[in-house]
């Protein structure tokens, strides 16, 4: 144990700190020299890990200043919840507006919650009028996006209650997707084969 502890302490005596050279990245000679990157975001519970944090993390990754054919983002939901799946659908729809806005005006930070939370929102470019029009539109869409994301849990429960009520007699309180099929992952009212960690594998692209 003492030897293991000593090995763990040695790197702390002379820590190595690496800072990315943003100027060098901006001056790279062609996108072909950049490596491919896979980014994994892990989550397990939309309550313990607020859903708004998760969707903002994904949006900031999607808006990264990097060749789109060189990186991919994956969400790994260990809880297998429908709310995360439907939140990603909302993210994909909003990203169509958010990502071009970020790249057009080089906005920072690229998490919309952090960006719109700043007292002033800096941008690159001299066309202030065009920026303000785009800014108002994106801000309005983001506010509506947040309302939809925040209401997902309630929406899914109400939808599931409606489907379950229409199927009286089977005794199953399933969780239902928007297309009218049962969610293969964890249900709101967990049962055998639909509990957290005990459900069918789910892969969505």
Distance from C-alpha of 192 to C-alpha of 62, rounded to nearest angstrom: 36
49 is in an annotated binding site: yes
Name the nearest CA neighbour of 88 among 163, 178, 158.
Answer: 178
Provide the total of helices (H) and of strands (E) in the chain, helices listed first: 7, 4
Q: Assign 53 to helix, strand or coil.
A: helix
**CB-CB neighbours of 176 under 10 Å:** 20
Contact 142, 116 (CB under 8 A): yes
Tracing tokens 């941008």 back to the chain, one arrives at 123
78 has binding-site annotation: yes
| Furthest C-alpha separation in the chain | 68
- Where is the binding site, in residues? 49, 78
Which residues participate in the annotated binding site for UDP-alpha-D-glucose?
49, 78
């Amino acid at each position: 144990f003492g030897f293991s502890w000593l090995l763990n302490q040695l790197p702390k005596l002379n820590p190595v700190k690496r800072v990315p050279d943003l100027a060098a990245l901006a001056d790279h000679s062609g996108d072909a020299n950049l490596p491919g990157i896979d980014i994994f975001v892990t989550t397990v519970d939309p309550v313990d890990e607020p859903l708004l944090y998760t969707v903002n993390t994904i949006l900031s990754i999607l808006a990264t200043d990097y060749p789109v054919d060189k990186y991919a983002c994956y969400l790994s939901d260990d809880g297998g919840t429908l709310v995360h799946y439907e939140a990603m659908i909302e993210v994909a729809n909003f990203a169509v507006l958010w990502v071009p806005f970020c790249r057009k005006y080089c906005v920072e930070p690229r998490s919309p919650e952090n960006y719109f939370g700043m007292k002033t929102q800096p941008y690159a470019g001299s066309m202030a009028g065009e920026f303000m029009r785009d800014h108002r539109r994106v801000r309005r869409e983001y506010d509506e996006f947040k309302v939809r994301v925040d209401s997902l849990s309630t929406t899914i429960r109400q939808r599931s209650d409606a489907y379950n009520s229409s199927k009286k007699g089977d005794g199953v309180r399933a969780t239902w997707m928007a297309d009218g099929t049962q969610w293969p992952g964890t249900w709101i009212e967990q049962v055998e084969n639909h509990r957290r960690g005990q459900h069918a594998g789910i892969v969505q692209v």
